[in-house]
Amino acid sequence: MKTGSQIRLLLWKNWTLRKRQKIRFLVEICWPVLLFIGLVWLRKANPLYQQHECHFPNKAMPSAGILPWLQGIFCNANNPCFRYPTRGESPGVVSNYNNSILARFYVDIQELLLNDAEVQQLGRLWREMSSFSNFMDTLRNNPSVVSGRGLKIEDILKDDEVLTAFLLRDAGLSTSIVYQLVNAQIRLEQFASGIPDLQLKDIACSQALLERFIIFPSRTGLHMVRNAMCALSQQRLQKIEDILYANLDFFKMLKLVSIVSGKTPRSRTISDCEYVQYFPLAPPCSPPCICLEMVTFALSR
């Protein structure tokens, strides 16, 4: 059978079926028309708009690190769409949250823990605190171990201290008296039970109390300091004490407690030259200035 005859026979068959089944014929005509009408309605009801390209934030794999991996999971849970490329799409960048507070804190902690110098400083501070704790236990339980030894006031002051300037200018003390004060040593065993409940005026005017709490370079210096400090008012003495506390360097104290406790003997020699270096504006050594030839203090015996 020729091709034309086959096509003619097929069309006749279809036409005969549609003519016999009129409902099916109507459905086959109306169904595409309804679909077309629906598409036209949707097109009119929702106008077209321009949709920009979407850039989704990248999600790091676990091999990139715990923090980037967790940030990629929780911070991108809703899969936000950005118009422009994100930072995470740049070559070599793992996460979009490298500048977040948590990420910077994580980096700082890593640098702090992995920095050898910082770790050494922390270890040194821990050793000094342990030494200071042991020293305080010794001071409470056996104060006689450090009896007669103390911390020199000059050695525990800050580098930029203002105590000496206050004593010279505001308190009106002479350079020789200030020199005796800053070179005196504080008896630590007297503070084993805390700060004594005594008035500063009573301590300043009593030679026995001064010798109880402070070791002076010489007996003459003790009398000079007592006479000068006793003439000051209670308010002025309290101001001097407050400035002394404000200018203490506790890190220097931590270093010196082991020396005072006898672990590292050290000697301190003070000469006439050191007096001139400490007080460059001081007058030549003449009465009532006391010339110190060579005074040696042993902080540990």
Q: Output the CA–CA distances (angstroms, integers) from residue 95 to 77, 82, 168, in the order listed.
A: 14, 15, 61
Report whether 151 contacts 252 (CB < 8 A).
Answer: no
- The model's pLDDT over 125-161, given as tens digits with 9 standing for 90+, comes to 777 677 767 767 766 666 666 666 677 888 888 877 7
In the chain, helix, strand, coil percent, each to 5?
60, 5, 35
What does the alpha-carbon distance between residue 37 and residue 32 come to, in Å, rounded to a whole number?
9
pLDDT at 30: 94
Residues in the chain: 301
How do residues 225-236 score in pLDDT, each as one tens digit? Answer: 888 888 888 888
CA dihedral 7, 13, 16, 20 (to 10 degrees): -150
Backbone angles phi, psi at 47, to 5 degrees: -65, 155
Helix (H) or strand (E) holding 49: none
For the entire predicted model, the pTM comes to 0.42
Q: Which residue has the tokens 């630590």?
A: 188
Q: How many whole angstroms separate alpha carbon 69 and alpha carbon 61?
A: 6
Cα–Cα distance for residue pair 82/54, rounded to 1 Å: 5
At 21, phi and psi to the nearest 5?
A: -115, 85
pLDDT tens for 80-127 read 888 888 877 777 777 666 667 777 777 777 777 666 666 667 777 777
Q: Are 293 and 272 within 8 A, CB to CB? A: yes
Measured distance CA(238)–CA(270) in Å, rounded: 29
pLDDT beyond 70 at 55: yes
Q: Identity (one letter) of the amino acid at 286?
A: S
- pLDDT, residue 260, reads 62
- Residue with more model confidence, 158 or 290: 158
